[in-house]
Structures are given as C-alpha cells and as structure tokens.
Amino acid sequence: MASIDLIKKNTTFQLMDDIIKITVIDREDQIHELEAPTDMAMSLMEVCRSYELPVEGTCGGMALCASCHCYVLSDHELHEASDDEESMLDQAFFVEDNSRLGCQIRMSNDLEGLQVKLAPVD
C-alpha cells in the first residue's frame, strides 16, 4: 500500500507542479476555489478574470486603477507593494492594512493556499 500511495503522490505532485489552489471570496461572500497556473506569469487579477469573477482590471494590470483591489486574508508573505501600487491604494477607498492590488500579485508556487477577498467597488 505504501508504495502505491507514494506513486500516487508523485504523480499528483508532477501533474500539479505548476498549478496552485487559491481561494477568492467575492463581494457577495461567495467562496470560489480556483486553480491558478504558476508558469504563465499570471497575476491574481488575470486569474480572477479568467474565471469570470467580477474583477474589471480596467487599466490592464499597470496598477493604475483600483478595480482589482482585494484583501489578503491568509498569512502568505507577499513581496512589498511598489510605489506605484501604494500610490494607487492611496487613491482607492475601503483600504485596509491587508489591501493589495490583484494585478501586482504574481501567481507563484509559494502562494499555494492563498486566500483573498475582493474589496467593494466605488
């Protein structure tokens, strides 16, 4: 049994190598479990859009609008926000300490289990 388990694990590991599972809670508190590829340089905003969640991504991902504003609920260590991102958050509303712009969060393997909630739109 042990050996079969090991093979299964390995197979799963290989198949899922470039995919992580993340959780997005939308503005109606609906929970969405998403699978996000980590080898396509996708941002959280783009992943949400590909699942047709209500994330506009108006500026296309340049941190120039706040339509992908979200709250990071899990305790993942994200890279620090750039000046552009901070300055955009300064112009956004409903900003909290855990606010980030989804377009600035790149999908990578260390974000497995990431949990975010979409911020209200103004």
Partner 1 sequence: MIKTDILIIGAGPVGLFTVFEAGLLKLRCHLVDALAQSGGQLTEIYPKKPIYDIPGFPSILAGELVENLMEQIAPFKPGFTLGERAETIEKLEDDSYKLTTNRGTEINAPIIAIAGGLGCFEPRKPPISNITDFEDNGVEYIIRDPELYRDKKILIAGGGDSALDWTILLSDIAKEVTLVHRRTSFRGALDSVDKVMELAQSGKINLITESQVVGLNGGDKLDSVVIKNKEKNEKPIDVDHFIPLFGLSPKLGPIGEWGLNVTKNAIEVDTLDYSTNVPGIYAIGDINTYEGKLKLILCGFHEGTIMVQSAFKRIYPDAKLSFKYTTVAGVNGFD
- Give 10 or 58: the residue with its C-beta nearer to partner 1: 58
Stretch that binds partner 1, among 23-31, 56-64, 74-82, 109-117 (CB under 8 A): 56-64
27 binds partner 1 (CB under 8 A): no
95 binds partner 1 (CB under 8 A): yes
Counting residues that bind partner 1 (by CB under 8 A) gives 17
9 binds partner 1 (CB under 8 A): no
12 binds partner 1 (CB under 8 A): no
82 binds partner 1 (CB under 8 A): no
Give me the residue label for tokens 């112009």: 91
Asked whether the beta carbons of 57 and 68 are under 8 A apart, the reply is: yes
User: Rounded to an integer, what distance in angstroms lies between the CA atom of residue 85 and that of residue 70?
Assistant: 12
Q: Which of residues 60-79 bind partner 1 (CB under 8 A)?
A: 60, 62, 64-65
- Phi-psi category of residue 100: left, alpha or beta, with phi > 0 → left and psi -120 to 50 → alpha: beta
41 binds partner 1 (CB under 8 A): no
User: Exposed (0-12), middle (13-18) or buried (19+): which is 25, by Cβ within 10 Å?
Assistant: middle
Binding site for partner 1 (CB under 8 A): 58-60, 62, 64-65, 83, 86-87, 90-95, 120, 122
